[in-house]
């Protein structure tokens, strides 16, 4: 992923607790490879592995690609404490907005919701990570939030998790996660449908193996049993599929998304980006155009700092989990957190420890059959 022989200094990705700090003086590069400024930010979902590079003149173009949101200004100081141990927590959202290039993926839906939500916890040694997926249909207590226009939203005792983004944007999604977990989010990364698809196409596709056919008219996915190199459209179909796998709920789709994230990481590590400056730049251009981040990650140098932090993490170093939930007795199409088990999960993250199996045992999300669908 990223390496240490970069032109310029890598700034810390905007955090106060043991992040990567800039070192050394800016030196004139001695060879073409050392002129490459690269940024790779890793995450869940959706998928969210970010890569960035560019020759000197391209730095400004890549910087201009990135959209930033000032989460801290909207949330103020009423937040969980920032753990001082050098670990990092990132909320990664996949937005299901139907505006612009995303319109073809559905009609009749106003606004946008968080179609995919993953909390990525990078441990203090920066060699392992835990990913916790939050089902979008989870019933939660949504706090009051400040909207983009400066107005406020009323709290809700029983709201679907994905309504937080729709109601108050990224800051409200972060506030809702922090409220339910007690874990402070250091950063925020968002990608929409078209951005995800473009990123996968630029990467050259991602290889996955299906153990049985997957056919879903809603996500336009039609895969036979076997190994497939998925382009952007098919990859998007896979991570959106729900009715053709498991019990047809969001829980089965989450496990498909987690399996895809691992396959995506393996693809990034094997594609040989550093042997092709053009390929590296193209991926950087697609990645930085595809994402919206918090304002402390909205520059190439910030992403470089994050890339250096996570560069040693491989797919086998990631523990994938889903928030422990049970089906809502009042509505089988919704799920509610299993509070005692959820607290075990959040406690492990706060302690920078692996999530215990007891935290997910018996959860509805632990009983799907996705292991028999995607290898």
Share of the chain above pLDDT 90, in %: 40
Q: Is residue 251 part of a domain?
A: yes
Classified as helix, coil or strand, 207 is: strand
83 or 16, higher pLDDT:
83
| Integer Rg of the chain from CA | 20
User: Is 9's pLDDT higher than 80?
Assistant: no
User: Is 165's pLDDT higher than 50?
Assistant: yes
Confidence of residue 85 (pLDDT cuts 50, 70, 90): confident
Q: Is residue 188 part of a domain?
A: yes
Confidence of residue 274 (pLDDT cuts 50, 70, 90): low
Q: How far is CA 197 from CA 191, 286, 307, in A?
A: 10, 10, 21
Q: CA 371, CA 208: separation in Å to the nearest integer? A: 13
Share of the chain above pLDDT 70, in %: 74
* pLDDT tens, position by position, 48-63: 333 333 334 466 777 8
Q: Is residue 9 part of a domain?
A: no
Q: Is residue 26 part of a domain?
A: no
At residue 44, the pLDDT reads: 32
Confidence of residue 152 (pLDDT cuts 50, 70, 90): confident
Domain that holds residue 65: 32-351
Q: Is residue 242 part of a domain?
A: yes
At residue 176, the pLDDT reads: 97
* pLDDT tens, position by position, 199-220: 899 888 999 998 888 888 888 8
At residue 311, the pLDDT reads: 79
Q: Residues 228, 210: contact at Cβ < 8 Å? A: yes
Q: What is the pTM of this model?
A: 0.80
At residue 39, the pLDDT reads: 32
Q: Is residue 347 part of a domain?
A: yes
271 or 321, higher pLDDT:
321
Least confident stretch, 140-144, 289-293, 327-331: 289-293
Q: CA 371, CA 206: separation in Å to the nearest integer? A: 18
Q: E strands within the chain? A: 39-41, 50-52, 67-69, 88-95, 114-122, 129-133, 139-142, 145-146, 152-153, 156-160, 187-192, 206-210, 214-216, 221-223, 226-230, 291-294, 318-322, 325-328, 331-337
CATH of the domain at 39: 3.40.630.190
* Cα Dmax for the chain: 66
Q: Is residue 365 part of a domain?
A: no
Q: Is residue 1 part of a domain?
A: no
Instruction: Tell which residue, 290, 298, 75, 68, has the closest CA to residue 173.
Output: 75
Question: Based on the structure, what is the number of domains in the chain?
Answer: 1
Query: Rounded mean pLDDT of the chain?
Result: 78
At residue 159, the pLDDT reads: 95
Least confident stretch, 40-44, 106-110, 254-258, 269-273: 40-44
């Amino acid at each position: 992923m990223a390496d240490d022989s970069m032109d310029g200094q890598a700034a810390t990705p905007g955090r106060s607790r043991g992040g990567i700090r800039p070192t050394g003086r800016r030196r004139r590069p001695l060879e073409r490879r050392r002129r490459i400024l690269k940024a790779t930010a890793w995450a869940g979902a959706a998928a969210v592995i970010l890569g960035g590079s560019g020759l000197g003149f391209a730095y400004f173009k890549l910087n201009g690609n990135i959209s930033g949101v000032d989460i801290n200004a909207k949330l103020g100081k009423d937040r969980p404490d920032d753990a001082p141990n050098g670990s990092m927590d990132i909320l990664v959202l996949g937005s299901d907005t139907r505006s612009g290039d995303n319109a073809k993926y559905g009609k009749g839906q106003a606004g946008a919701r968080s179609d995919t939500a993953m909390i990525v916890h990078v441990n203090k040694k920066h060699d392992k990570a835990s990913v916790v997926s939050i089902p979008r249909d989870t019933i939660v207590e949504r706090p009051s939030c400040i909207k983009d226009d400066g107005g406020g939203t009323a709290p809700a005792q029983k709201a679907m998790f994905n309504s937080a983004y729709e109601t108050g944007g990224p800051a409200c999604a972060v506030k809702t996660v922090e409220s339910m977990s007690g874990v402070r989010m250091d950063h925020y990364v968002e990608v929409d449908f078209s951005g995800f698809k473009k990123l996968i196409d630029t990467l050259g596709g991602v290889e996955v193996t299906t153990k049985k056919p997957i056919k879903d008219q809603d996500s336009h996915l039609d895969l036979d049993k076997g190994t497939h190199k998925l382009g952007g459209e098919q990859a998007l179909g896979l991570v959106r599929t729900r009715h053709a796998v498991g019990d047809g709920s969001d829980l089965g789709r989450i496990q498909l998304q987690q399996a895809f994230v691992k396959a995506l990481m393996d693809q990034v590590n094997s594609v040989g980006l550093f042997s092709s400056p053009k390929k590296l730049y193209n991926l950087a251009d697609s990645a930085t155009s595809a994402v919206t981040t918090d304002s402390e990650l909205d520059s190439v140098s910030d992403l470089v700092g994050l890339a250096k932090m996570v560069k040693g993490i491989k797919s086998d170093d990631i523990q994938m989990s889903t928030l422990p939930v049970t089906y809502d007795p009042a509505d089988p199409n919704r799920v509610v957190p299993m509070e005692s088990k959820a607290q075990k999960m959040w406690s492990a993250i706060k302690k920078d420890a692996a999530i215990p199996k007891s935290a997910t045992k018996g959860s509805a999300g632990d009983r799907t059959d996705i292991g028999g669908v995607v290898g």
